Amino acid sequence: MKASHLSEQLKDIQGMLGSGFGWLKTSRFWLLTIKAGREDDARAWLAGLVDKKLVVSAADVRESRKHPVDDAVAIAFSYLGLAKLGCDETAAHPFPSPFSSGMGCDLRALLLRDSPREWRWSDVESGAGGPVHVLVAEWRKRRSAAEMASAPEKSAELDPDPSVFDVIKVDNDPCAFQQKAGDDEERLYESFGFRDGLAQPVISELREERGAERRQVRLDAGILYEDRVVAPGEFILGYRNEYDELTYCPNVKRWPGDAAYTSGRFALNGTYLAVRQIEQDVDAFAKFEAVYGQAVCEKVMGRRRNGKPLSWQGDPDVSISDSEADAFRLRVDDANGFGCPKGAHIRRVNPRDTLGIDLQSSIKSVKLHRLLRRGRPYREEVANEKPRKGIFFIACNADLERQFEFIYQRWLRNPRFVCLLDADDPLVGKPAATRSFSMPGLASGEEVSLAAFTQTLGGGYFFLPGISALKFILGREGSSKAVGSEAVAARAP
Amino acid sequence: MLEMVRQQMICIIAPGWRGAVDFSDSGDMQSALNALFEDVAVVQFASIALLPARTDAEEQAPLLMLELAVEEGIDPKDMLYRLVHHPSGAMWSLFSSYWPGGGPPLVSARNGQLFDKLIGWLSLADGGFVGPRDRTARQIRKERDLLIWTRDEGRKLKAMYGDDRASFALALAQRAFQDPRFDWAMQPAPRSYWRGKGASISAKVGYGLVVFGLWLALVWLVGALPKGLFGAITWFVGASWPDVQSVVDVISRVSMWIVWASVRALLAFVALLFLGWLLLVALPALFAPWRRWVDSVRRELERPTETWSSFSTRVVGWIVGVPLLLAILACAVVFVFYPKPIMEGITALTARVPGWELALFGVLAIAALLCIGTFFSWINRRFEALSKWFFHPYEEDVTRAQQVHPSIDQCEALLASGTAHMISLTDIRSPNGWSAWWIRVSLRVVTFFGRVFFTEGRLGDAPGIHFGHWHIIEDGRRFLFCSNYDGNFGGYLDDFINGATIGTTLAWRWTTLRPRGSAAVGQPDIKTPRDFPPTRFVLFRGVKCELKFKSYARDSMLPHMYRFDACNATIEEIDLATGLRDALFGERNDRNDDFIMRAIET
């Protein structure tokens, strides 16, 4: 059997890998723990989402300009969730160790440098409660009050049955999409008021933009466009990655494909999601800004509030495209961190061209450690308190160890990152009593004291299966078969 | 030179371990060993692990490995003597299980027996790389103190000096100079020869030329001395001995032949270097098609893409490249050992064909090669879909990939905030003697390059290695690799894959993983054999097969039970602190001032 061609498999890839559904302004995330003995009911409820065609594919996303997608759902499972639903890994092709051990385990707390944890939920058995088995992500078109009133069942149709699941709901922040001065349309802003969703990698054979739009995106980025183009195998299991190797595909028992080949295994067209619920202390950040000013806040983040790079030399009031805002390097323009400090949040999560011995090797090396972010800001109403805000962080990656865990351990939470002295990430670092942030400058840098701006409330690793594998998990085995390229090509219209 | 590197990284491999030592934090052994290594003051890293026995070994008990990375210039016997005869008796406590009766009552006799045993189990590294640890642990600690002090002083002085960089740096330098605690820093930071005075290219070339000159002089003397002495004697005595004369003449002729062959070998080497530079550096820099061609060849060797371009590269490479390379090498060998036909050939050719025709022929040959490559590249781009369909690559199954034993994960997690550590144990492929010989030669080459050329703390382009060492153990049956490095294991292997491909492939390609049991409860075993990824032309591919290589390396790993790190510092921190010392106490100039300013703001 031959390895699969991505272009032939788009119908089997869940839509969230193809797009962040930027046009669907409302989102909700459900963290579900299947109650004992209710596995069949859980399968039936989840299968209902598939039957209603809410689980869209990458092919649907690609066609969304002609046939708009108004509602989209993605379903992912933790390792314990897969086991709960009867999917046991095979001895020859088991799931990777980070996924099977779970983000919530004590070992990973040490590896990810976030011990001790006070989490509300995780993907393993813990004091906080049962493990989350299923993650359901939902994106919907924003509906007016009148539309909501006329069809209330539309927003309730996804509500999971509390007799089947223990449910944690993470709701949308309705203020996340805003049109601020200089914006030509509504854009996504996270709770501290910074543009979000920029600096995304582009999957080389799964580009979201088509035709003229794609040409414009390329034009805006100029020669730096290729910096963000990453091989599909970095995010989708079963395809060539940046090493030009087929990404490892695990398999489960009873899966009908030929397990000797990647394209015949269960995990083909899937991905792993590293999920974290991060609460943002908006008041603490506002106080910090009142003391130090906006310029320092932007240094801490590593970007301007409107998304432009700190080194942006043009007119600050002129709107630029996301592609242009993301087209910059640091090695030559900002080697000392005078513009974007070396310890700034965005420089830690994506050091671009700074860490290798030369520019090309740096860019090549960074492409091995990229994440496709699909999270959204959330808002939690609390009785007699101000609503709590934060970000429901979701990162798609094909190799949890090389991508999410590496970034988290070696860059984001490394107190010695690029020779810094005991400096954690200024935004998602450990909430220690005394933390400081240094900003290189002339003659030497400045330091500011940081507060605890964020707190992680929970996290887990999930597997986002291909659509055939999803149907297999949910017991729609009639429709699940070996999804080699030939099989899927035969089903294609 | 290589011996000095090998002596810095030693392992004691004690077979048949049946001890029951508690290495946990709460046990006495950990604190005793920590105190011992702190006290002897020349150990930079130490670790203890259990190596599982081979399934075909007579002794099925595991082997105890004590890994020591020590400072430059310490003789291993001296090192062991200091450890064994230390008054704490920690080494005896560690190895006392080898004396079930308790050993001799006299401490000196007991330590003497232990010393003899440890010498017998001592394994010097067969090859290794020392990153920034040519400095002593004391130097690293003192320079770190200076860095922290300078940062604190910088904070205090900032308001006074504002943006005046030169005055600010001068003030810091003056304060450091006046502080008696930093008197030691008056001297430039001591570094080993190749990282200090010998770091420049001219020093390396000069050193090589001096060695070559000495070689020529020595060989010439071997021929000239007997000839001179014999001539003097025959003149003095006034008699001749024709038999002796003929032997002396032979020695003299052989000596001169070796001298001229050495000179020709040097010329051939320089010519080959020039050719390599021309073909792999100069031409690719000047001509894009040539660059694409070289990239294509390299890609084909390392990661076959199975496209038209790859196909053409392979065909043209085999038809033109390999025969050409072999012909050039054959010419070089003939030129060194029997130059006459080549010189005659060149004379005849230049007499018959004018120089411009030869040059034209060369240019046309290169142009033809480029045209073929460009043609297939064009086909590849023009008919991308067809190429993908026709050359659709078949895959190789890699079972149980991305698996990490919990004990290994645990070790990595505990070292997340410090210098990471790995122990890898593999089997040497049959025939063992042949494979072990190749490994030794390869390791010596890697060690030489690491010692002389990769002196910036990077092996190839792979950063982050403090000490990496390889040992051939158990009479050439097994291969042990220990490394102390910055970062996590996955990233470390990525550095090897991208930055030190050839060295790593050379070191590991003659190994395999055979089934073995676990050395202790909770430690990893190997149920299914695993091969090192396939290599091409000895040097290529190998570690570039990411999934196979990482699975191979992961499966070969063993957890440590004990670990000592004399100073928890990253390579970047060590280099920064040494640089700051030299900048503070060196001459005042823009470069040093800026270095100080950048150092204190981190």
CB A443 to CB B162 under 8 A? yes
pLDDT band at A443 (very low <50, low <70, confident <90, very high): confident
pLDDT of residue B158: 87
Query: Would the CB atoms of B573 and A416 count as touching at under 8 Å?
Result: yes
- What's the confidence (pLDDT) of residue B307? 66
Handedness of CA A76, A82, A87, A91 (dihedral sign): positive
More confident residue, B593 or B27: B593
- What's the pLDDT score for residue B453? 87
How far are the Cα atoms of B14, B64, B482, B596 from residue B9, in angstroms, in the given order? 16, 16, 9, 34
> What's the pLDDT at B436?
94
Contacts of B573 in chain A (CB under 8 A): 416, 419
| Closest chain B residue to the Cα of A444, Cα to Cα | B597
The complex scores an ipTM of 0.91
Contact criterion met (CB < 8 Å) for B400 and A92: yes
- In Å, how far are B34, B43, B231, B574 from B38, measured between CA atoms? 6, 8, 64, 19
Q: Are A204 and A232 in contact (CB under 8 A)?
A: yes
What would the pLDDT profile of A296-336 be if each residue is shown by its tens digit? 999 999 999 999 999 888 887 788 899 999 999 999 889 99
Residues in chain B: 602
Question: Which residue would you say has higher pLDDT here, B385 or B224?
Answer: B224
Of the candidate ranges A166-170, B248-252, B539-543, the one whose mean pLDDT is the lowest: B539-543
Mean pLDDT of B208-219: 95
Sign of CA dihedral A174, A180, A186, A187: negative
Q: Is the bond into A443 cis (omega within 30 degrees of 0)?
A: yes
Those residues with Cβ within 8 angstroms of residue B552's Cβ, 6 or more apart along the chain or in another chain: B508, B513, B530, B531, B532, B533
pLDDT value at residue B363? 87
Tokens of B62: 């595991």
Q: Is the link from the previous residue into A116 a cis peptide, with omega within 30 of 0?
A: yes
> Any residues with CB less than 8 A from the CB of A446 and at least 6 apart, and which?
A438, A439
Pairwise CB contact (< 8 Å): B398 & A248: yes
Can you give the pLDDT at residue A481? 41
Q: Token pair of B197, please?
A: 């005075």
For position A2, what pLDDT does the model report? 60
Collect contacts of B333-339 with beta carbons under 8 A, ≥24 apart: B335/B264, B335/B267, B335/B268, B336/B261, B336/B264, B336/B265, B336/B268, B337/B261, B339/B264
Residue A2: closest C-alpha in chain B = B394
Mutate to test the interface with B, among A359, A421, A444 (most CBs of B within 10 A): A444
CA distance, residue A293 to nearest chain B CA (Å):
20
> Which of A35-44, A268-277, A420-429 comes out lowest in average pLDDT?
A420-429
Asked whether the predicted pLDDT for residue B226 surpasses 50, the reply is: yes
DSSP B494: H
Residue B140: pLDDT above 60?
A: yes
Q: What is the pLDDT of residue A477?
A: 60
Q: What is the pLDDT of residues A85-134, one digit of tens each?
A: 999 999 999 999 999 999 999 999 999 998 888 899 999 987 667 899 99
In this prediction, residues B175-201 reach a mean pLDDT of 90
Q: What's residue B500's pLDDT?
A: 85
The confidence band for B38, taking pLDDT boundaries of 50, 70 and 90, is very high
For B86, half-sphere exposure in the C-beta direction (CA atoms, 13 angstrom radius) is 23
Query: Looking at residue B316, what is its pLDDT?
Result: 75
Name the residue facing A444 among B413, B545, B597 (closest C-beta): B597
Residue B294 confidence (pLDDT): 82
Position B194 confidence tier, pLDDT thresholds 50, 70, 90:
confident
> By the 8 A CB rule, do B498 and B412 touch?
no
Q: Measure A77 CA to nearest chain B CA, in Å.
A: 19
Of A91, A248, A441, the CB nearest to B401: A248
Mean pLDDT of B172-179: 96
Does the distance separating the beta carbons of B461 and A361 come in below 8 Å? yes
pLDDT confidence tier of residue A152, bands split at 50, 70 and 90: low
Name the percent of chain A lying above pLDDT 90.
Answer: 70
Burial label for B477, CB within 10 Å (0-12, 13-18, 19+), is middle
Each residue of A196-223: pLDDT tens digit?
Answer: 988 999 998 887 666 678 889 999 999 9
Q: Residues B407, B523: contact at Cβ < 8 Å?
A: yes
Task: Judge: A444–B598 Cβ closer than 8 Å, yes or no.
Answer: yes
Is the pLDDT assigned to residue B310 strictly greater than 80?
Answer: no
* Confidence band for B199, pLDDT divided at 50, 70 and 90: confident
For the entire predicted model, the pTM comes to 0.90
Position B396 confidence tier, pLDDT thresholds 50, 70, 90: confident
Of A172-176, A281-285, B301-305, where does mean pLDDT reach its minimum? B301-305
> Which has more confidence, B384 or B134?
B134
Task: Give pLDDT, residue A155.
Answer: 63
A241 in contact with B, Cβ within 8 Å? yes
The verdict on a CB contact (< 8 Å) between B393 and A3 is yes
Rg (CA), chain B: 30
How is residue A310 written in tokens?
Answer: 């700190």
Residue of A nearest to B544 (CA): A243
Q: Closest CB to B600: pick one of A97, A244, A444.
A: A444
Q: Which of the four pLDDT bands, split at 50, 70 and 90, describes residue B200?
A: confident
Q: How confident is the model at residue A487 (pLDDT cuts 50, 70, 90)?
A: very low
Q: Which of B291, B310, B546, B548 to mutate to test the interface with A (most CBs of A within 10 A)?
A: B546
Three-state DSSP string of chain A: CCCCCHHHCHHHCEHHHCCCCCCCCEEEEEEEEECCCCHHHHHHHHHHHHHCCCECEHHHHHCCCCCCCCEEEEEEECHHHHHHCCCCECCCCCCCHHHHHCCCCHHHHHHCCCCCCCCCEECCCECCECCCCEEEEEEECCCCHHHHHHCHHHHHCCCCCCCCEEEEEEEECCCCEECCCCCCCCEEECCCCCECCCCCCEECCCCCCCHHHHHHHHHHHHHHHHHHEECHHHCCCCCECCCCCECCCCCECCCCCCCCCHHHCCCCCCEEEEEEEEEECHHHHHHHHHHHCHHHHHHHHCECCCCCECCCCCCCCCCCCHHHHCCCCCCCCCCCCCCCCCCCHHHHHCCCCCCCCCHHHHHHHHHHHCCEECCEEEEECCCCCCCEEEEEEEEEECCCHHHHHHHHHHHHCCCCHHHCCCCCCCCCCCCCCCEEEEECCCCCCEEEEECCCEEEEEEEEEEECCHHHHHHHCCCHHHCCCCCHHHHHHHCC
Q: Is the Cα dihedral A88, A92, A95, A101 positive or negative? A: positive
Q: Is the pLDDT of residue B60 over 60?
A: yes
For B151, which residue in chain A has the nearest alpha carbon? A421
Q: What is the mean pLDDT of residues A2-30?
A: 90
Read off the pLDDT of residues B337-367 as tens digits, 9 standing for 90 and up: 999 988 898 889 888 888 888 889 888 987 8
Rounded to whole angstroms, how far apart are CA atoms A460 and B285? Answer: 48
Under 8 Å between Cβ of A62 and A205: no
Are B394 and A418 in contact (CB < 8 Å)?
no
What is the percent of chain B with per-residue pLDDT over 90, rounded to a whole number? 64
Q: Bigger pLDDT: B343 or A488?
A: B343
Given this model, what pLDDT does residue A491 score?
36
Answer yes or no: do B498 and A364 touch at CB < 8 A: yes
Cα angle value A9/A265/B556 (rounded, 5°): 125
Residue A208: the pLDDT is 67
Tell me how close the Cα of B253 comes to any Cα of chain A, in angstroms. Answer: 51
Asked whether the beta carbons of residue B168 and residue A444 sit closer than 8 angstroms, the reply is yes
Residue B525: which of B379, B405, B410, B441 has the closest Cα?
A: B405
Neighbours of B162 (CB within 10 A): 12
Contacting residues for B247 by C-beta, under 8 A, at least 6 apart: none
A143 Cβ under 8 Å from any chain B Cβ: no
Question: Above 80 in pLDDT, residue A147?
Answer: no
Residues B75 and B14 sit within 8 Å (Cβ to Cβ): no
Report the chain A residue with the minimal C-alpha distance to residue B161: A443
Q: Answer yes or no: are the C-beta atoms of A380 and A387 closer than 8 Å.
A: yes
